[in-house]
Structure 1
């Protein structure tokens, strides 16, 4: 680390699993997962935006989920990789607070968004005749706006509060980014009151949404079992199973990290949970939704076919304008 660039207010990020014996392999793996996650989510957003058949509430919410996943990996991985290759582990107080704010914003937004996606599936399966009314575009826009605004305000509170706890000893954060439990461990004052505030917040943003999602899918499965059409049952279950897989991946690690006291789990366990939530899950989400969704796969094939057709047309047009092509064509005509 370059000590000359470190100030008294800087924090020191020890990185991802600092005791790991093969750091090069670890950082290359993280970088590869970041590239897959960034490419997959960006491609999914582009497909939903370009294909009019995907301009439905379900895919609009899915595009918001991909935007959240892009924010997740972009707010954590580039700083980690840069610190590793430059050898500078310090992060300024303002940069740490900014990273914590964006991380909490997208984390809280994902909890509520996954709940809205479950509600969308509930209305589509259990109340299909009212779907166009309950999930009309204006309602979807208002819901997503409320998600982002509410998450930003809650994240602002949970950024200002812990960042103002006094730090008496080392400013080394045993993590690869500025996360709340890791920062709380640095404080030299009693944080039990804030731990209670954090616990109440996690009930509101984690436990209640999780219960609502389970309730929605319980009603969905009961409705699906009463369907006479086997094709309809399979289609409903395929759509819902993708969402349930994402919910299980995300809420499992989030409940473990934020609904238990910081002292009850080690920094290594926090890092494993964070990797699952901020890197692995964003990487898997577009794969889960694309590979198991015929409409997304169809849109991707259509765009690739259009691109190939455009490339072929461009090649033909360019060859017709090429002087060498025209000479060869005239020569062949003379020979014939």
Structure 2
């Protein structure tokens, strides 16, 4: 079964490589157009749908589902030197895939997510074969779940790169699962309580995504002929990103554990949706649907992780209450539609 898991992971890598052979292939042989087929309002509705997929509540539910006995998180220990070599080779293939995506600057934060995940995986794969690996794997396992949800959500948002994102998420997940499948090669499994330190991987991704979104912001190269609305939205989103990078979260994970971050994802998400509605540039649409969406998702994921770590049992009770309330609202809405 272990060999099968690794084989599937490598097959997925090959699939990704095929998908990104020409990441900017235009639709209908028109070199000036990406494959955006929906109208502005339809794209805005789709953008709102992505917000729902990457809401704080969803990440909180996912993190809680990975926990055992309401207060514990199961971690596996990495082992088997031969398997390590196979996994490292698979990582190199994924890294080549990311290199092929770099000509698309508006998705830089998404590339940052995948690259950071690989770096975290390498920390585990290169670690000694003993039970102390439980802690770093715990961090990466949570981070992987978050990254997979974000990548698959973005896969539905950008038609000309959707399959690439979805396959990339599946490949990274296959590599992670392969590492899990090596349990028993050395040391068995360990359990650790979910703590704030386990959110450090998500925090690293969040900072990287914010920095990348600032770097490729359309506000930095907005043409003079752009509409006033577009200029206002681009400048506003950059202002929020600047706030997120300097003031909303500690600059180090050690400081993060002793401070209470201020999350601005809701405000940034509103700018993102309106940018999709107003933009007449494919680059700006892709920036909003990929870069800003990834940043919003990671902000929500970090908030969810810290919330669960602070009180795992209380977080479960709160989640159940919120889901029940949402169910009642949905039921009432359905009754109104039937009437």
One fold, TM greater than 0.5? no
Whichever structure has more helix as a proportion of its residues is 1
When the two structures are superposed, what TM-score results if normalisation uses the length of structure 2? 0.34
When the two structures are superposed, what TM-score results if normalisation uses the length of structure 1? 0.35
Higher Rg of the two aligned structures: 1
